[in-house]
Amino acid sequence: MSLVIVLQGCAATVSTIADNRSVTEPMAARAGSPAYAFAPLSGPPAAVADRLAVSFASASQARGLPLASYGNRKSALVIKGFISVVPGADGTTAVYVWDVLDANLERLHRISGQTTDPAKAADGWDALSEKTLDTIAETTLDQLALWQAGQ
């Protein structure tokens, strides 16, 4: 279960190590921005990690945030994350924490949040809609860009 987003040429490739499926989408890089490499994701099953990876690729493309391979993390800031789900009366809440790490894997910043999907399921992961995963990716990358702009 892991999320890996890789930059190859001018296209962001999103894949999971678990099953090596990938989606390729074009992406524009913002001049002067560091590349971001996603470490393996903790928490969700592979199918949810796959869907979230696609959400991150789309959101990063829309924001012009460059991505790099986790294997090439020496030249990138590493994003290490954890996501869990909590069922509740109002639906299923996804809680996430992302640590921004330098090349030595020292934490520079933490991004955290939660979003609630009105759906309910026996397995909370099954309740998360594409919209909820998109919200997690968009909010995370917006917070990352705000932090980076303040540096």
DSSP code of residue 83 = E
What's the domain count of the chain? 1
**Exposed, middle or buried by CB within 10 Å (0-12, 13-18, 19+), for 24?**
middle
Q: What is the pLDDT of residue 30?
A: 42
Quick check: 101 and 59 in contact, CB under 8 A? no
Q: Please, which pLDDT band fits residue 124 given cuts at 50, 70 and 90?
A: very high
The residue whose two tokens read 């890089």 is: 29
What per-residue confidence (pLDDT) applies to 13?
39
Q: pTM of the prediction?
A: 0.77
- In the numeric block, the tokens 């074009």 are attached to 26
User: Structural domain of residue 108, as residue ranges?
Assistant: 4-149
List the CATH number of the domain containing 16: 3.30.160
Q: Where are the beta strands (DSSP E) in the chain?
A: 4-8, 11-15, 22-26, 35-38, 76-88, 91-101, 107-117
Residue 146 CA: distances (Å) to CA of 2, 61, 127, 140: 25, 16, 30, 10
137 has a pLDDT exceeding 80: yes
For residue range 8-62, list pLDDT tens digits in order.
Answer: 333 333 433 333 333 333 333 444 567 888 888 999 999 999 999 999 999 999 9
Q: What is the model's pLDDT at position 82? A: 97
pLDDT score of 72:
67
pLDDT, tens digit (0-9, with 9 covering 90-100), for 64-123: 888 888 876 666 889 999 999 999 999 999 999 999 998 888 999 999 999 999 999 999
Question: What integer pLDDT is reported at residue 33 of this predicted model?
Answer: 64
